Amino acid sequence: MTVISAESAGTDPEGTPVDRWTLERAGTRVRLLTYGGVVQSVEVPDRAGAVADVVLGFPDLAGYLAARGPYFGALVGRYANRLSGAAFALDGRTHRVSANEGPNCLHGGERGFDQRVWHAERDGDHGVRLSRISPDGEEGFPGRLAVSVTYALDAAGGLRIDYRAETDAATPVSLTNHTYWNLGGARGGRPATGHELRLAAERFTEVDNALLPTGELPPVAGTRFDFRTPRVVGPGYDHNFVLDGHGPAAGEGGGPAARQVAEVYDPVSGRFMTLTTTEPGLQLYTGDYLDGQPYGPGAGIALETQAFPDSPNRPGFPDTVLRPGEVYTSSTTYGFGVR
């Protein structure tokens, strides 16, 4: 059983109370904020038993309010990643959404899910459930979207994140978590770009200079995108990978089955992290644009399970439109161990 507690973390700029929840089980301690659904810290032991926080974050709410752009630990939506031209056509109508990265929409717009305070309640003996209503027209997206995200620890101390959403009008949905991981310890002084990564992906999403998909899905073989066998992660990645094994096999709720798609290993500390997901894509971002406030480039790597970027504008990509009567579900688990 997970030990669960909650405490006040302060208030957001509008005066809305923000809480911090703590989950502890099987040697893992996770702290979460109701502001932005932020994963504030994940503490796990190394091979010598020394415990360290392995995610980039801030000690208090003020840090997250001041540093919006990097999305440290945040719950991202209504549509993760980029939408070209901050617009998309749906059922014969063009919808214009908030442009917050030049002419494009990134991670839900100027004030996405990462800057909202979520309602929180205990979810049984294993975790906490966050929920909110995204009203019709929020950041330009159509439909009233009822969203819930459950953070829980499994019997082995893995962090499982389950997403669920329903709408009253057709709308694109892709939710993810934007935690930056450094298995050597977030404040240990070593960059995460020395970690080894294995990724079950034979193809990746080619992008242009604006990091928007070209529509091509070239093979990783013979390129720096080939992580099918473990290799050290260097700088220069902000790309979506086409994960192997995504298909119609039924998982919980009749959706795609979860499968293990990645493992990250820090040979110095001995910590490793596995990643299991139901999603078709994974964005690898090596933090090249972190500005040193307080983390510099490569201090952590993000592994964002997601739909493909710009899918609403790419008919050849997997469909991301949620319609009335349907239920959006997604599940990702981060497992921890040492060797």
- Return the pLDDT at 68: 79
Check whether 21 has a pLDDT greater than 90.
yes
What are the pLDDT digits (tens) for 77-113? 999 999 999 999 999 999 999 999 999 999 999 999 9
Amino acid identity of 118? W
What are the pLDDT digits (tens) for 32-59? 999 999 999 999 999 999 999 999 999 9
Check whether 310 has a pLDDT greater than 80.
yes
Give me the active site residues, please.
178, 304
Cis preceding-peptide flag for 78 (omega within 30 of 0): yes
Structural domains of the chain, with CATH: 3-197+230-338 (2.70.98.10)
Question: Which candidate, 278, 276, 275, places its Cα nearest to that of 248?
Answer: 278
User: Maximum Cα–Cα distance for the chain, whole Å?
Assistant: 59
Selected residue with higher pLDDT from 248 and 29: 29
Check whether 249 has a pLDDT greater than 80.
no
pTM of the model: 0.96
pLDDT band at 248 (very low <50, low <70, confident <90, very high): low
Question: SS3 of 105, please?
Answer: strand
Question: Which candidate, 120, 162, 331, 143, places its Cα nearest to that of 246?
Answer: 331
What are the pLDDT digits (tens) for 173-221? 999 999 999 999 998 889 999 999 999 999 999 999 999 999 999 999 9
DSSP string, 137-179: TGGG--S-EEEEEEEEE-TTS-EEEEEEEEESS-EE-B-EE--
| Nearest 10 degrees: Cα torsion 331, 163, 115, 15 | -130
- pLDDT above 90 covers what percent of the chain? 94
Query: 116 Cβ partners below 8 Å, 6+ apart?
Result: 35, 36, 132
pLDDT band at 69 (very low <50, low <70, confident <90, very high): confident
Question: SS3 of 86, please?
Answer: helix
- pLDDT above 70 covers what percent of the chain? 97
Cβ distance 82 to 102 under 8 Å? Answer: no
Query: 14 Cβ partners below 8 Å, 6+ apart?
Result: none
What are the pLDDT digits (tens) for 157-184? 999 999 999 999 999 999 999 999 999 9
